[in-house]
Each structure stands twice: as structure tokens, then as C-alpha cells.
Chain A
């Protein structure tokens, strides 16, 4: 649906140079029946995200196993973008991912990739809507390791491990790290579900990283439960709601 007519703009993402060369060769042979342009090549998920954010990309051929940010995670960040590209996963062998793709009707190509299969997959991107974030989340067995923040045309990938707390504010969620704050367009409920092992809810609008909790203080103003949680690095004190008061006991 993304690619209505004209040249399909394609990004190749794979950490192995020979695999990229091979895809390039194959795409060259697809040109006649499927007009396309190769926008760029990326060596990992981070580079792929930067390219997709910078340029107009219609289709990403995305390897699953890559360093830094793997294909599954990159795809989830891409699906959250304003104009998400169509994604075709490529993999040599990943029993888990393949099963998950089948279950969630996500398209993938097995390496070594055959020309005919590649053409079919490219053709499908014209007909079918791009894979949804929900389908990708269902297929991924692990939470993301980063949050993607779009800021003035740039994309920041904030490691989850550096996040101190997440606070819902109107339309956005504020992501606080030791250095600064970011805004992401995600729902706090979804984040809570995805990162249930790492964060704990202290208030209707706030999730705190378990590792960022220094302690709890009594009689904090503004706090209905009479407790506030003290945050590592920034020393901030965030109110604990009455409903979440059990968290205080849990950590003491």
C-alpha cells in the first residue's frame, strides 16, 4: 500500500557484507519486473533506523540477528514511525522467530534467498498493509532494549537500562535518564506491560526503574500516601500514591 507506483525505495540491513552483496545482486535482477532503487545499506538496526528516519524508504530488507540493535527491535521502532516502511525480514535460521512470524502473519525470507521468493515478497508490499506494531510485539519474545525518541528530525535510541523513570504527561510519556528528559508517544500501560520486570508503578502516572530506587521518604508533601520514592542520580522525590503504597513495603 505504501508503494503505489514508480520506484520502490529499498534499504538493505544486514551485518554481513557478503549477505548485503548477495541481496544487491538479486535486487538488480528484480528491477525489470519490479522497478526499484536501493537507497542505502545498513550494518545494524541502529544504522537502519537512522536511514529510515533520514530518507524516504518504502521497503526494508531486515536481517534479524544484528549487533547493537537487532532486526526485531529495529522493526518495532520503525512501526512506530509516522510513515512506516514495509518490512521483509531475512534470516538464515532462527526457529523461534520463524514460528512467531508464521503465527503473526509476518513476511520473511530464508537465506539463501531465492530470486522468485524475493519477487513475491516485494510484490506483496504493494498489496498488503505494513506489518503492525502489535503483530511485531506479539512475535518478539523479548522487550525492546531501547526507546526511540524522535526529536527535530533526529532519532535517539535511549537504552532502557539508563531510564530512571517514565511519567505520563497529557499526550506524551516523559522518559527521564540521569542526563536529560525525552518525550515519547507511547502509552504508559503498554510500557508497563512490556517492561514489567524492570519497572514498578508508584503512581497512576509514573513507572520507576527498580534499579533507580534509592529509598523511600516519609511525610513528603503532595503525596497522598505520605511516602515518596527517592530516585538515583537526580535525587528527585516522586510521590507514591495510596493505591501503590504496597510498593514501599515490598522494597524495604
Chain B
């Protein structure tokens, strides 16, 4: 499972180059809508002869602009694989050509339906369309340039979210204690640890299948149960998990580690960690619960891990992923929702 995880990661490494954004992403769509509408508003202000006319001019422009904008976004979303395959500059050229064609067709066939009594000559319209498209593309270009160091940073952050030294030394100690009495179990535990650290030290920049994440968390919890014995109970509810869903790596394991460190360890009789993964309305939903004794003096460490995961979710999914945590009746629940993506 871990080896499989590794190959997927290397295939997905399309590198650091700038690409057109994923127009299927809600955040990208919203940003495009806002930019183009701001430009339309500016154009309306320029065109209007008086303050009163601004609203009317905007409506006239919007009546033509919005349908084209929305159709364009839908088309760009549909054609995103094709565009990515073309390379960056050719894909921009294709987008511009497509926009011009759309506006020409729009004016030819639906121009008469518009409320504008003085239709704009096509070269003038073409300039506006070109300008709006270029502005939007330039914005996304700048944004992805600004974020690409951040995506590289995501790898460092993933490393920071890595296993606590506390866990490493305690596990080695537990394995040492088994050496004499139960050499077989010691062997098995060391194998689990080796797998765990292989993943931790791998390149964790790109999305990986959730099945690997689950396996990793399982191995981690197996080592922990060596230390904690019957105090640690784990329930997996993953029958309805889409095993091919892609998620940012090191999502589940740090959460499981938090649950052990803050939830189970402080209680003498231990407790249960429950992990649910399922599809809900086309979104991947992960829920993890653990008992929580209330005020822990070590909560700061927990917040750091949570903030780290939240930041990486945002880097990968923008506004489409969310993460919530709450404490209720002595139970700590953390829920992550993100788009259901697959490799194919």
C-alpha cells in the first residue's frame, strides 16, 4: 500500500510550472465572476453620462457579459484536462480565441435581443473581451506565482505535522521492552515503524489516495496500541469510503496522533478513537472523535497541528474544503469536508 502511494505521488508531480487554474473550483469561479463584474462596472462608469445612467449602463453590459462569462466558465471547467495538456501559453491563446469567438457569436445571433439601442462595433467589443480575459488570466498567474512557494511550503508543513518526538522515543522504548520476551511482536512493530517513517519522509506535496492515508493511520495506531495496550480502542467506519479519493497526505495520521496524545493518554482507563470516512453529497467527509477530559495544559500543540492541516487544505482546495472541531459532552470531534477528486 505504501509503495503504491509512492508511485502515485511521483506521477502527480507535474512540477512547479504555472498553469491555468482549475476552473471547476468554486473559489476560482467566484474570483473570475468578481473580477469580470468589477471590470463591467468600471466600463459602465466610463460609458455613463451621468450618475443615474451608471446602473442602466451596467445592466446593458451585464446582459451581454454575464451569459458569456458563465458559458466560458462552464466550458473552461469541461475542457480543463485538454487545456492542461496543451501547456500554459497555448492554453492562454486558446482561451482568448474562445472568448473572442463566443462574443462574436453572441453579438451575431443574440445582439438583437439586447436592450442596447446602439450596438458596439465588434473591434471595440473584442478589445473589451480581450482586456477582461487578460486581466483575469494575469490575476490567476500572479496568484499561482504567489502561492507556488506556498505549495512547496506545504511539504515543509507536512513535515512539521509529522510525528511527535514523544511518539518516536516511546515507541522505540516499547519495542525494546518486547525484544526479550516477544521478539516476533518486536519485529512486526519495527516493520510498521519503518513503513510509517518512509511515508513521513517522502515528498508530501501532492495529493495521495485516501486508502494509503487510512493504511498509514492504521499502522500508526497499531504501534500506539503496543504502548497503550487495552487503553486504546479504535473503531473504523470506512465501508462507504471511496478508496480512490485523493487527499492531502498526512491528514489522518496527525489527527489520530492528536486523539491519542490529548484524548486517550490522559485517561487511565483509556478511550475509543472512532474514524469515519464517507461520501456525502459528492464531498469526501472525514470525522474523527475521541474522549476529551476538558482543559489540557498542552492544547497549544493541538492547535498547531489543526492549523497546519487547515492551511494545507486551503492550499490544495481553496474555499471548497473545510475543517471544524468541537468539544461536546466530553467528546472531541473534528470533521473535514473536501471535494471528491480522483486520479483518473
Residues on A facing B (Cβ under 8 Å):
15-19, 21-22, 25, 43-44, 65, 67-68, 92-94, 110-113, 142
Contact = CB atoms under 8 A, between A and B. Distances in A.
Given A17-B229, A18-B227, A93 B169 contact: yes
Nearest to B178: A18
Interface residues on B, range: 20 to 34
A19 B177 contact: yes
Contact of B166 (A21, A67, A93): A93
Contacts of B176: 22, 112
A65 to B, nearest CB: 7
Given A112-B169, A112-B172, A112-B176, A18 B267 contact: no
| A interface SS class | loop
Contact of A16 (B168, B181, B228, B297): B228
B53 interface: no
Contacts of B177: 18-19, 21-22, 25
27 contacts: A15-B265, A15-B268, A16-B173, A16-B174, A18-B173, A18-B177, A19-B170, A19-B174, A21-B177, A21-B181, A22-B173, A22-B176, A22-B177, A25-B180, A65-B265, A67-B266, A92-B166, A92-B170, A92-B173, A93-B164, A93-B165, A93-B169, A111-B170, A112-B169, A112-B173, A112-B176, A142-B297
A25 B268 CA distance: 24
Contacts of B265: 15, 65, 67
B200 interface: no
B226 interface: yes
A13 to B, nearest CB: 13
A65 B166 CA distance: 10
A70 to B, nearest CB: 9
B169 A110 contact: yes
Given A25-B177, A92-B173, A67 B267 contact: yes
Nearest to B293: A67
Given A16-B228, A112-B173, A43 B268 contact: yes
Interface string B117-150: 0000000000000000000000000000000000
4 smallest A-B Cβ distances: which pairs?
A22-B177, A92-B169, A18-B177, A18-B174
Quick one: which of B168, B176, B229, B265 has the most chain A CB within 10 A?
A: B176
Contacts of B178: 18
Nearest to B172: A112
Contacts of A67: 265-268
A22 B265 CA distance: 19
A68 B177 CA distance: 24
Nearest to A92: B169
A65 B266 CA distance: 8
